[in-house]
């Protein structure tokens, strides 16, 4: 199942300050630990920051159930960014989007977070809770108030602002301080000297009560847990708590009733005090119990026999059961059991590594985009090649530099000295600058923009990430891999054709690194390309006018366009018309450029003959055209071997929960030079679009997915590997 682990790391995109800023957030290491646990449970996991770009990232990652895909879930670790109702924000957004999630709904979170309202509910349900007063200002007065009291913000967690006072001046001072600092009402509660307990609950209807935890107050009945205790130096815990069974059962009954009174789901923690006479009092309930290793909840779960990994997966399971029923959970568990096979263990290690390295992968894309490589700037292209050499060499790759006049050096990286390769990755270094100029790298929500991001730079970053993940898994040396980066892709590949043909012929599989379609499209076929320049040949007496020349040139080119056969995948298009006509004289130059795209070589050859014949045909005024050009690239045809290769990739994608679909591209590329008998596909870079335009982009979320897919496909390409 796809699981998005959502937490709050920053406030990117927040428009204005709205209420108190959240001080409660998870340590990133804990978030990583939860994600890793879910991956060990066989799930496909992505960590997402719960900021303003959340919806876009979920849209990219979550399955489309209405389109027949299996449902996914969110593991909610987001305490919110700001405001007094911050626990409710993510669940409310998820309910609006129709995405199932772990934990309680917005109403229950709102009740639990508001300590005053929660205590009113407890009291009305007949549950024991200390007497309390709600202070809206330091001047409020209550005739029945009895000292000592404990003072705390009404809607905070982790014991922020908590203080015990035993006189009125200190009470007024504490209330004023909290209102000023936290911008909210203050709960003043009768202080209960005695022992303190934290009790975890797991599941629904009724929930499992985890072993009772006593907070070690070192024999001091007046001690309390402060925020510093919880965050910096947690107090020791006694688990299971030393209580008579009758008292322990009373406590278990109370926490179940408290959980149900607020209509909570899946997991929570109840905090209690017990006075010297053995009377129990419910202080509060945390509807988002901390999953940190030092917290009482995890401590209790480990005492109950859970490992951290089994606890996290159990929390997910009880939520999934609530949404989808027992049968679905059993099916997911069966798939998780199947994931214990060798290739799935490798995929788990690969995905875990890549997910942790997601910021580094984005940094690679940034650096590659910032290294501008226009085709005409040989020094810049070679500078990128030098930087890449420093990246591939530590991965165990040697490099062969192949000089090419005018276009920069072609680079070939290889990790074995054998002539044969299991897989050849094919990319390019040169990047055309779009009309309007170079676009610098920038992040905008779920997208990354920049010249070359989809064209070639993102694919190179994905390849590096995949190879690093395989090295981390100690598998890369088992794959005889080559990486060929050409330097004339944008010029029809004439200079690189020979080396592509030579190296591809010695590879079992060839994979192109250009961007895939946003829907997961992998390129299984590409059109061939022919380009022809039509130059006007004048009669000996150049008495023709500018209008006559232009009309003849246009009519001939337009006739060539009409040779297109859409059903057969054959397209002819006028790309350019040029006329140089000095004022008052016949044109000195009249040219046109016609481009041909075709799916079959024989169609390309036939159209070339017809173009030359049409060009040579004289007009009534004696005008004719000279056609100069040829087929620049053959098509990448979808052969049975290539189709089988794609279907294997689709199976790998299904296991990884990475969307994969087949697509055709009308633009040719260097992969078209791969011999027809070699299985080859393209578009294994990140998902994106808008190549060679000002709007070129890739989806940030696809970097990890496509790197994982590429790594596992490369693993499958290795000789003798049955996966």
Average pLDDT for 638-648? 95
What tokens were used for 437?
């100029």
Edge to edge, what strands does the sheet with 410-414 contain? 398-402, 410-414, 481-486, 421-428, 507-512, 680-681
C-alpha distances out from residue 607 to 529, 537, 558, 565, Å:
11, 21, 14, 11
Largest CA distance in the chain: 121
pLDDT above 60: residue 344: no
pLDDT above 70: residue 608: yes
Q: Which residue has the higher pLDDT, 549 or 713?
A: 713
Mean pLDDT for the chain?
89
| Confidence band, pLDDT 50/70/90 cuts, at residue 231 | low
Same domain, 572 and 467: no
- pLDDT of 586 reads 64
pLDDT tens column, 429-459: 999 999 899 999 998 877 899 999 999 999 9
Cis? peptide before 697, omega within 30° of 0? no
Same domain, 571 and 622: yes
Average pLDDT for 650-667? 89
User: Which CATH number goes with the domain that contains 90?
Assistant: 3.40.50
- pLDDT of 672 reads 94
Q: Pick from 571, 599, 633: which residue ends a domain? A: 633
Counting the structural domains of the chain, the total is: 4
Same domain, 279 and 159: yes
pLDDT above 90: residue 502: yes
Same domain, 388 and 481: yes
Q: Which of 44-58, 342-356, 528-542, 665-679 has the lowest mean pLDDT?
A: 342-356
Is the Cβ–Cβ distance between 70 and 33 less than 8 Å?
no
Same domain, 259 and 203: yes
Residues in the chain: 723
Q: What proportion of the chain, given as a percentage, has pLDDT over 70?
A: 92
Distance CA 362, CA 49 (A): 15
Q: Where are the beta strands (DSSP E) in 362-487?
A: 398-402, 410-414, 421-428, 442-444, 447-449, 481-486
| Confidence band, pLDDT 50/70/90 cuts, at residue 36 | confident
Classify residue 462: in a domain, yes or no: yes
Parent domain of 272: 111-306
Same domain, 324 and 264: no
**417, 370, 365: which is closest to 391 by C-alpha?**
365
- pLDDT of 720 reads 47
Same domain, 40 and 129: no
Same domain, 659 and 551: no
Distance CA 296, CA 285 (A): 13
pLDDT above 70: residue 158: no
| Confidence band, pLDDT 50/70/90 cuts, at residue 723 | very low
pTM of the model: 0.72
Classify residue 81: in a domain, yes or no: yes
Average pLDDT for 465-488? 93
Q: Pick from 633, 660, 686: which residue ends a domain? A: 633
Classify residue 350: in a domain, yes or no: no
Q: Which of 52-61, 260-269, 652-661 has the highest mean pLDDT?
A: 260-269
Average pLDDT for 131-139? 93
Distance CA 225, CA 204 (A): 29
Q: Where are the beta strands (DSSP E) in 538-673?
A: 570-580, 589-598, 624-633, 661-665
Q: Which residue has the higher pLDDT, 308 or 60?
A: 308
Distance CA 468, CA 474 (A): 10
Same domain, 621 and 682: no
């Amino acid at each position: 199942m796809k699981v998005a682990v959502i937490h709050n790391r920053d406030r990117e995109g927040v428009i204005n300050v709205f209420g108190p800023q959240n001080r409660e957030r998870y340590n990133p290491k804990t978030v990583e630990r939860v994600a890793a646990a879910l991956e060990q449970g066989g799930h496909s996991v992505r960590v997402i920051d719960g900021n303003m770009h959340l919806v876009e990232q979920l849209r990219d990652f979550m399955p489309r159930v209405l389109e027949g895909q299996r449902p996914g879930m969110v593991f909610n670790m987001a305490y919110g960014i700001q405001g007094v109702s911050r626990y409710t924000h993510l669940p409310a957004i998820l309910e609006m989007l129709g995405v199932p999630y772990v934990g309680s709904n917005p109403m229950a979170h709102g009740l639990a977070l508001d300590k005053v309202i929660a205590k009113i509910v407890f009291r009305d349900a007949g549950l024991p809770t200390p007497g309390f007063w709600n202070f809206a200002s330091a001047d409020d007065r209550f005739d029945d108030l009895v000292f000592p009291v404990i003072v705390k913000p009404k809607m905070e967690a982790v014991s922020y602002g908590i203080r015990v006072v035993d006189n009125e001046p200190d009470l007024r001072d504490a209330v004023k301080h909290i209102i000023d600092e936290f911008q909210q009402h203050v709960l003043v509660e009768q202080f209960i000297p005695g022992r303190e307990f934290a009790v975890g609950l797991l599941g629904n209807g009724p929930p499992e009560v985890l072993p009772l935890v006593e907070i070690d107050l070192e024999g001091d009945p007046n001690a309390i847990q402060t925020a510093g205790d919880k965050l910096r130096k947690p107090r020791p815990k006694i688990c299971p708590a030393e209580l008579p069974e009758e008292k322990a059962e009373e406590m278990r009954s109370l926490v179940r009733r408290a959980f149900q009174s607020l209509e909570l789901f899946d997991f929570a923690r109840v905090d209690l005090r017990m006075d010297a006479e053995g009377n129990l009092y419910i202080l509060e309930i945390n509807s988002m119990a901390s999953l940190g290793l030092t917290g009482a909840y995890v401590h209790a779960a480990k005492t109950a026999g859970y490992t951290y990994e089994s606890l996290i997966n159990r929390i997910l399971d009880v939520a999934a059961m609530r949404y989808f029923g027992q049968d679905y959970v059993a099916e997911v568990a069966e798939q998780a059991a199947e994931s214990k096979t060798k290739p799935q263990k490798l995929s788990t290690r690969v995905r875990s590594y890549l997910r942790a390295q997601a910021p580094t992968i984005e940094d690679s894309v940034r650096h590659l985009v910032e290294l501008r490589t226009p085709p005409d700037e040989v020094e810049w292209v070679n500078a990128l090649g030098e930087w890449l050499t420093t990246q591939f060499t530590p991965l165990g790759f040697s490099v062969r530099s192949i000089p090419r006049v005018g276009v920069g050096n072609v680079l070939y990286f290889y990790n074995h000295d054998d002539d044969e390769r299991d897989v050849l990755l094919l990319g390019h270094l040169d990047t055309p600058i779009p009309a309007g100029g170079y676009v610098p790298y920038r992040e905008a929500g779920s997208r990354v923009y920049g010249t070359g991001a989809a064209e070639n730079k993102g694919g190179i970053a994905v390849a590096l990430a995949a190879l690093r993940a395989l090295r981390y898994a100690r598998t890369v040396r088992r794959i005889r891999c080559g990486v060929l980066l050409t330097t004339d892709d944008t010029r029809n590949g004439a200079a690189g054709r020979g080396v592509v043909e030579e190296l591809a012929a010695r590879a079992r599989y060839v994979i192109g690194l250009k961007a895939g379609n946003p829907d997961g499209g992998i390129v299984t076929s590409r059109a061939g390309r022919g380009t022809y320049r039509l130059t006007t040949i004048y009669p000996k007496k150049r008495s023709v006018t500018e209008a006559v020349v232009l009309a003849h040139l246009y009519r001939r080119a337009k006739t060539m366009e009409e040779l297109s056969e859409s059903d057969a995948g054959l397209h002819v298009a006028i790309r350019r018309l040029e006329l140089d006509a000095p004022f008052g004289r016949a044109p000195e130059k009249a040219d046109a450029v016609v481009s041909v795209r075709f799916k079959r070589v024989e169609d390309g050859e036939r159209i070339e003959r017809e173009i030359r014949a049409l060009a040579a045909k004289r007009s009534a005024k004696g005008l004719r055209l000279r056609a100069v050009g040829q087929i620049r690239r053959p098509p990448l045809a979808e052969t049975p071997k290539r189709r089988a290769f794609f279907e294997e990739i689709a199976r790998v994608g299904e296991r990884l929960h990475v969307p994969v679909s087949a697509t055709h591209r009308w633009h040719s590329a260097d992969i078209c030079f791969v011999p027809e008998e070699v299985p080859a596909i393209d578009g294994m870079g990140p998902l994106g679009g808008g190549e060679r335009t000002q709007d070129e982009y890739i989806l940030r979320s696809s970097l990890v997915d496509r790197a994982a897919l590429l790594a596992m496909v490369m693993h499958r390409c290795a000789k003798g590997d049955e996966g």
